[in-house]
Amino acid sequence: MNFKTITAAVAVLGAGLALSACNGANTTAAVDQVPNPYGDNVWSGYQTARSGVRAMQDDDFENPGMPVYDAAEELYNADDGVAGVSCADCHGAVDDAKGGRFGIPMKGVAATYPAYDVEDHKPINIELRINKCRTKYQQAKPFKYESDAMLGMTGLIAKQSRGMPRMTTADSKGDVLNPFWMQGQAFYYQRRGQLDMACSHCHEDNAGNMVRAETLSQGQSNGFPTYRLKWQKPGSLHRRFRGCNKNIRAEPYGYGSDEYLALETYLAWRGRGLPVEGPSVRK
C-alpha cells in the first residue's frame, strides 16, 4: 500500500470522526432534541452487579477477558493482508495520544461510535469499521464477528477510552444519524416474539427490579465488549441483542444487521454521558 492509498484510508475514517465532532457542536439545539426517558437517573449495569463481578472489572489482572484483549495488541501491530500494513501504520501505537503520523488516535473512538459511514450512508460500529479497514485498506480477510480476534480488537480499542463519556446527538433532527436513531427507538418499543415483549418492558419499566436472582439493568451499552460469566468468554453487544431476542422467543437478526445497528445507535443515546467501561465484566 503506498502513501497515497493510506492517506485516502485515513481520510475516510477521519471524515466519520469529524462528523461526530461536528454533530457534538449541535448540543445547544435543544429544541430539536428529545428528553432521555431516564431523565438524570442514567446508570450502568455495573451499579447493580455483585461485588465480586465489580471487583473483576476493576482490576485488569482479575478481568477474565483480558488475555483476549491483550493478545489483540499483536494483531494491531502486525502487518497483514496483501497490502502488508498494520493498524499502527496509520494510527501509531494503540495508546499513542497523537494518533501516529496521521493524527487519528484510538483514544476517544469508543466514546463516539456508532458513527455515520459517509460511503455506505448508514451507521457503522467499531466491529464493522475494523473489517472495513481490513478488507479495503489492508486487503485482508474480515474477522468473524464473534471471533477472539474481533472481540480482542474491540476490547483493546474500548480500553483506550475508559472513563470518557459516551457522546451522541443522534436525537437531533439535524443529525445525520437521526433517521437511524428513530428506527432504533421504534425497535426498542416494539413488542415481538412469543412473549410479546419489547426491550422497554425489562430495561425501562422494570430497571432495578429483580427477575429471578438478578437485578434488571437499564440495558446500557457502555460496557461492551463484555466478559459474561454466563458465556465464559467475551461477547459483543449484538450477541447480547440476539440473546435477548431469543429469551422472548423472537427471531434474532444477524450480527451487524441494519436493525441492530439502528438499535445500537439508539442505545448509545440513551446512555450518553455514561463513561466507557469496556471491556467490562457482567454476570
Q: Given 112, 136, 159, which residue is the final one in a domain? A: 159
Q: How confident is the model at residue 208 (pLDDT cuts 50, 70, 90)?
A: very high
Residues 150 and 178 in one domain: no
Q: Please state, in angstroms and as integers, the Cα–Cα distance from residue 237 to each residue in 114, 140, 157, 161, 255, following that order.
A: 12, 24, 15, 17, 9
Question: How does pLDDT run across 46-67, given as a tens digit for each residue?
Answer: 999 999 999 999 999 999 999 9
Tell me whether residue 33 is in a domain. no
The CATH number of whichever domain residue 256 belongs to comes to 1.10.760.10
Tell me whether residue 40 is in a domain. no
133 is catalytic: no
Residues 55 and 122 in one domain: no
Report the pLDDT value the prediction gives residue 33, as an integer from 0 to 100: 67
DSSP 29-71: -GGG----TTTT----GGGGS-HHHHHHHH-TTT-TTHHHHHH
Residues 221 and 116 in one domain: no
Residue 8 above 70 pLDDT? Answer: no
Cell of 238: 449484538
Question: How does pLDDT run across 247-266, given as a tens digit for each residue?
Answer: 999 999 999 999 999 999 99
Report the pLDDT value the prediction gives residue 100, as an integer from 0 to 100: 75
Residues 87 and 116 in one domain: yes
Residue 13 above 70 pLDDT? Answer: no
Q: Given 159, 178, 197, which residue is the final one in a domain? A: 159
Residues 110 and 127 in one domain: yes
**From the candidates 22, 90, 199, 244, which is the catalytic residue?**
244
Domain that holds residue 153: 3-28+66-159
Tell me whether residue 213 is in a domain. yes
Residue 243 above 50 pLDDT? Answer: yes
Residue 213 above 70 pLDDT? Answer: yes
What sections of the chain are H helices per DSSP? 3-24, 51-58, 66-77, 87-91, 126-133, 148-159, 178-189, 199-203, 237-247, 258-270
Strands of 280-282's sheet in order across: 233-235, 226-228, 280-282
Mean pLDDT of 84-105: 86
Work out the mean pLDDT of the chain and round it to a whole number.
88
Tell me whether residue 39 is in a domain. no
Tell me whether residue 34 is in a domain. no
In the chain, % of residues over pLDDT 90: 78
Residues 200 and 228 in one domain: yes
Question: How does pLDDT run across 161-203, given as a tens digit for each residue?
Answer: 999 999 999 999 999 999 999 999 999 999 999 999 999 999 9
Report the pLDDT value the prediction gives residue 17, as an integer from 0 to 100: 40
Tell me whether residue 35 is in a domain. no
Residue among 142, 248, 160, 154 at smallest CA distance from 201: 248
Residue among 83, 82, 116 at smallest CA distance from 5: 83
Q: How confident is the model at residue 214 (pLDDT cuts 50, 70, 90)?
A: confident
Tell me whether residue 36 is in a domain. no
Residues 70 and 134 in one domain: yes
Residues 222 and 98 in one domain: no
Residues 196 and 277 in one domain: yes
Residues 82 and 171 in one domain: no
**Can you tell me which residue has the cell 425489562?**
202
Q: How confident is the model at residue 6 (pLDDT cuts 50, 70, 90)?
A: very low
Residues 84 and 182 in one domain: no
Q: How confident is the model at residue 145 (pLDDT cuts 50, 70, 90)?
A: very high
Report the pLDDT value the prediction gives residue 1, as an integer from 0 to 100: 42
Whether the pTM exceeds 0.85: the reply is yes
Residue 9 above 60 pLDDT? Answer: no
Q: Given 159, 180, 203, which residue is the final one in a domain? A: 159
Residue 104 above 90 pLDDT? Answer: no
Element (H, E) at 215: strand 214-215
Out of 33-37, 110-114, 206-210, 238-242, pick the least confident.
Answer: 33-37
Structural domains of the chain, count: 2
Mean pLDDT of 218-226: 98
Residues 85 and 200 in one domain: no
Tell me whether residue 258 is in a domain. yes
